[in-house]
Structures are given as C-alpha cells and as structure tokens.
Amino acid sequence: MQIPALPFPYEFDVAHTALVIIDMQRDFIEPGGFGETLGNDVALLAAIVPACQAVLAAWRQAGGLVVHTREAHASDLSDCPPAKRLRGNPSLRIGDEGPMGRILVAGEPGNQIIPALAPVAGETVIDKPGKGAFYATPLHEQLQQAGITHLLFMGVTTEVCVQTSMREANDRGYDCLLLEDCTESYFPHFKAAAVEMMRAQGAIVGWTATSQQLITTLKTA
C-alpha cells in the first residue's frame, strides 16, 4: 500500500506494520491528571481522540498489529531517576498522590489508557519508564518476532514521547510514519516544529500523513 505522505509517498504492508499509540493515558489527557498539574491545558490533547479512534478502528479492521504504550513507573520509583522526578516545580511529582492515584505509577487509575482507546485482547501493551518506547522495554524484540518493519505512530506528546520513540525506532531500522492529526502537544508550536524536524531532509526520522489519508488507503487497497 502507498500513502501520499510527506515528504514523499510512504509504502507499507499491513502484515509487517504496527500501529504504535503513545501514552494516551488519563494522567495526560483528562482533567486532574499529571498534565494538568503541570499547568497545561489538557483539552488540546483530548481534541485528537476522535481521529485516533477512527484510525484504531480502521487498523483493527485491517488486521494490523496494535501496540499501546504507557509511561509507567514501579511503585517504589526505582526506575525513576531524580533527574526525571525532580525536574521543574510542579504541584505534584511522579509518585505523589493525585486525584487519580499516584502520578505515573503502574496500576494506578490515572496511569491507564483512556477508555476511548483502551486495548483489547491480543494487543500489545508496553509500560515504559522513559520517554522512548524502546528504552528498558521488550518492544524491539517483540516487533522483530512479529516480522514488523514499519511503524505508524500516534499519541502524545509530539515533541517528547512521540518524537523520542520515532527517533529510537529509526535508529533500529524501522520505517516510521506519524499521523499528524493524531498527535498533539500542550504547546502547539512545539508540535509544528517536531513534525517539521521529523520529515525534514528526505524523511530523516520518518514520514507524516493525515488519519484520513491512511484510512482511505486501507479502504481502497
């Protein structure tokens, strides 16, 4: 299949491609979560949920592999270095008790993927202690075992966990495409800059396209 992507068409085969959904968690998307405690407007991130739902439904119908990631730490925070936990001056830090349980701790209510994009049986869920989906996780090995060579990305935030994961994937040899309307930042100009950086210089990190371009390609293939 071929998507009319930027900076040039992106070719992929569903059998060797995975949809990677980065950190669509309650702590980042919903009011009262970690994102809001940092002073961010979570409505910006929530706005991409319908497009993400449409892509997820189309990808499931096509029979493609789905990977969900969650930024999640052990309850004793042994995998959360001070350089991460103590950064900035938030009202709540990782591990603190928030409105939806302990912030970014595995198993807590706020750490779960939002209901609209909840994983179903058979889909891969990766808990990651870092910003990238490949750091200290079994993701690369699992993708290799499944014969995956191409990755479609969506999720939040564009310039942090999404961009980090795409760069990690690029270094590991995957051809990556970012769905522009299925990713967002608390700072829209950060998203714009990240998208430009990723597809610059002949798709140096990866391609970009819209959700509708992907869905149309899947329907007409």
Q: Is 161 a catalytic residue?
A: yes
Give the DSSP per-residue string, 12-75.
--GGGEEEEEE--BHHHHSTTSHHHHTT--THHHHTTHHHHHHHHHHHHHHT-EEEEEEE-B-T
Whether the bond into 17 is cis, omega within 30 of 0: no
For residue 131, indicate whether it is catalytic: no
**Which among 27, 80, 128, 182 is annotated as catalytic?**
128
Are 146 and 174 in contact by the 8 Å Cβ rule? The answer is no
**Cβ count within 10 A of residue 128:** 23
CA atoms within 13 A on the CB side of 184: 20
| Residue 23: active-site member | yes
Find the catalytic residue in 52, 161, 176, 182.
Answer: 161
DSSP 9: -
Q: Which residues are catalytic?
A: 23, 128, 161
